[in-house]
Structure 1
Amino acid sequence: MAAGGGAMSAPAVAGLRARVVVPREHFTVDVSLQVETRETVAVMGPSGAGKSTLLQALAGLEPLGGGEIAVEGRVVDRVAKPRVRTEPMRRGVVLLGQKPRLFPHLSARENVAFGPRAAGTDARAARAGADDWLARVGLPGSGERMPHELSGGEQQRVAVARALAASPRVVLLDEPLVALDPETAGDIRRMLRDQLISTTTVAVTHDAADAVALADRLIVVEAGRVTQVGPVREVLAAPASGFVASIAGVNRLVGVASGGAWRSGDARLTSAHPASRALAATDGVALAAVFRPGDVRVAEAGPESWPAAVTRIEPTLGGVRVHTDAGAIDLSLDAAGGVAVGDRIRLRVDPALVRFVAVPCAELAR
């Protein structure tokens, strides 16, 4: 109801609503998503999970095997009758990939002006708009430069300007930062965050930093199916799969509930969090214990510690991964100091720092 008792407003139309079904050699991509207007959703998943196939289908570059795609309430692709198949250029969707793919024979200004001019905008107005967009992406006064005169980061900035100058209803990003060095990627990430604030966006990425910086929600796709969805930080804090745990940089050990605790062999963990304690209340339920590497301590014998035999040690970005008979556990360098292969140690995690999450049935079946 509108404020003041007025008439009920019409329900908001999602910027993008889709069910994408695309058969592949070893599995079928079957992903449903709804992205609100001006919302950014990140999509993450292992290599070959179907993420790029999803974007290609949304852009009209991959035929649907089933499902439907609607942009701002208008169906642009549907397999069921009456069949709808809108060509890519008329969907109001733009796809920005890993490579800028600028027109090599056109200047930066003409590259950015290309979309508006193709849509019927006057050449002078299109070029003026292109200069404005180049300034907005951090390249003022660069209109006359040719693509070969630009660095990789500058080319990607021009590609972003060209995509947004076309006034798309939906922007699709397919890992546009993956080929850039970390410093340049950080600059482009900040620029994207500023420029996409009023655009409906789906961003495929392999980097959790992109998801945290750019997205409102995170969708995880594994083997063509959505395995987890929610606010970015919530998904990363409670990973439903080993893949999500790996990108979040946390430990995730699968065990079972027993006596209000998580158990796996000799390992036993408790949690101080009410939701986790509720999950552990039913004996025999499969649980994953989640905790950060910096929360693990090599400890003396005690009620909250468990024995582990060190079978292998390998370095990680933030410390070391210790392979034990209780599973592979990431430790900080401080905690792992002095630990060697063959040692029998005891590990401890403060219950206040442990969370339990349910283990999907599909994972148990593997």
Structure 2
Amino acid sequence: MSAAAVGLSARIVVAREHFAVDVEVRVASGETVAVMGPSGAGKSTLLQALAGFVPLDEGEIAVEGQVVDRVAAPRVRTEPMQRGIVLLGQNPRLFPHLSVRENVAFGPRAAGVPVTDARRGADDWIARVGLPGAGDRRPHELSGGEAQRVAVARALAAAPRVVLLDEPLVALDPETAGDIRRMLRDQLDGVTTVAVTHDAADAVALADRLIVLEAGRVTQEGAVREVLAAPASGFVASIAGVNRIEGVSAGGGWRKGELVLSSTESASRALAAHDGVPLTAIFRPQDVQIIRSGEWGPGDGWRARIIRLEPTLAGIRVHTDLCQIDVALADTAGLVAGEVVRLRIDPAGVRFVSPSQR
């Protein structure tokens, strides 16, 4: 990627109480990159540092090739308002004493745009985010979703070089979040964006690439669907909605201790020449069948102990010491925590992923 094609390039090092956030980020001009990770992994710290609200302990931040923050000599420290970076969070933080129009016009007016032009541009942005005619309303008259739309309009009206999103949809109901997600996808097209989210739907809908952050370090990155299809950690497996168990290749299949899995015939042939190679088995919870005690025969399935039963919209998720299983409510009668069962899965439902594929 040439320097001219890089919208954001950064090495962020910020010491925290239990670990240091140490992340390299490189975003092409006009690209959207999603960042996901467990609570406390350092995602918000990353955005705050990029925006200039948290000082770097080490590292450098460059926007479209221009260094805006550098710890090493020659020291550079650009104030947040001068970076061309805007941060949009869960709270719209609209100015309560200003109308919607004046909220959106604030950035351009602060940059020296004449009042009439700034207000005209604000009305255009208000319409673009789906609120035509709302310019005279006050923030207290807006719903949560409308306020978030205005916040997006205010951010983009300032013509930022980089937009940072810190879970802006998390406080919205699912229907409103879906509407705002579609609006964001349209309005952020061509804008260099880093979007922190906890929802895989946001990452798939908004982003070109996904960075996974765990305990302050990048543990996986790549095209969104490719990362979710080959999770390198339990966290990624959980957001992708799949089971992930590490083992080794063995006899054309996969083994972890006494647990043995096979895959399709073609996959097994491909694996046969690589016994003992680290290999991760990936399969969906709904593809696993529970065999109750008294119903299994010798060598039938894998032995597992139920840890807990969790109600879901579709039925029950059964958590065992091996994996998770989704079953219909009618099929869980009599299942209890602590019960020993056996599990079975069709080989067609198993994928094997080697470390080189992640």
Scaled by the length of structure 2, the TM-score of the pair is 0.90
> Aligned letter for 1:66?
E
> Is 1:200 matched with 2:195?
no
Percentage of matched positions with identical amino acids: 72
| Closer, same or farther: CA 49–343 of 1 in aligned 2, 3 Å | closer
Pick from 158, 165, 168 the counterpart of residue 166 of structure 1. Answer: 158
Where 1:246 maps in the other structure, the secondary structure is helix
Pick from 324, 327, 335 the counterpart of residue 329 of structure 1. Answer: 324
Q: Distance in 1 between matches of 2:111 and 2:302?
A: 66
> Aligned letter for 1:340?
L
Pick from 334, 342, 345 the counterpart of residue 346 of structure 1. Answer: 342
In structure 2, the partner of 1:72 is: 64
Deviations 1:262-296 (A, max 9, x none): 22343211233978976785444443311112222
Q: Distance in 2 between matches of 1:19 and 1:339?
A: 54
Deviations 1:226-284 (A, max 9, x none): 00001111111111111111111111123333333222343211233978976785444
Q: Distance in 1 between matches of 2:353 and 2:334?
A: 29
Contact 1:276-1:356 at 8 Å conserved across structures: no
Please report how far the alpha carbon of residue 348 of structure 1 lies from its aligned counterpart in structure 2 after TM superposition.
2.3
Please report how far the alpha carbon of residue 200 of structure 1 lies from its aligned counterpart in structure 2 after TM superposition.
0.6
Where 1:138 maps in the other structure, the secondary structure is coil
> Is 1:57 matched with 2:49?
yes
Pick from 173, 197, 212 the counterpart of residue 204 of structure 2. Answer: 212
Gaps of 5+ in 2: none
Pick from 16, 20, 40 the counterpart of residue 48 of structure 1. Answer: 40
> Is 1:88 matched with 2:80?
yes
Q: Distance in 2 between matches of 1:271 and 1:339?
A: 31
In structure 2, the partner of 1:262 is: 254
Q: How does 1:21-40 map to 2 (within 5 A)?
A: 21-40=13-32
Please report how far the alpha carbon of residue 305 of structure 1 lies from its aligned counterpart in structure 2 after TM superposition.
3.4
Residue correspondences, number: 351
| Closer, same or farther: CA 291–59 of 1 in aligned 2, 3 Å | same
In structure 1, the partner of 2:303 is: 307
In structure 2, the partner of 1:3 is: none
Deviations 1:183-204 (A, max 9, x none): 1111111110110012010000
Pick from 77, 89, 106 the counterpart of residue 114 of structure 1. Answer: 106
Contact 1:205-1:211 at 8 Å conserved across structures: yes
User: Is the deviation greater in 163-172 or in 9-18?
Assistant: 9-18
Contact 1:94-1:163 at 8 Å conserved across structures: yes
Deviations 1:212-231 (A, max 9, x none): 11111110000000000011
Contact 1:238-1:355 at 8 Å conserved across structures: no
Q: Distance in 2 between matches of 1:280 and 1:197?
A: 46
> Aligned letter for 1:38?
G
Please report how far the alpha carbon of residue 43 of structure 1 lies from its aligned counterpart in structure 2 after TM superposition.
0.2
User: Is the deviation greater in 59-68 or in 159-168?
Assistant: 59-68
Contact 1:269-1:304 at 8 Å conserved across structures: no
In structure 2, the partner of 1:227 is: 219
> Is 1:292 matched with 2:288?
no
Please report how far the alpha carbon of residue 339 of structure 1 lies from its aligned counterpart in structure 2 after TM superposition.
6.3
Where 2:124 maps in the other structure, the secondary structure is helix
Contact 1:29-1:224 at 8 Å conserved across structures: yes
Deviations 1:60-112 (A, max 9, x none): 11111111111111111111111111111111110001100000110000000
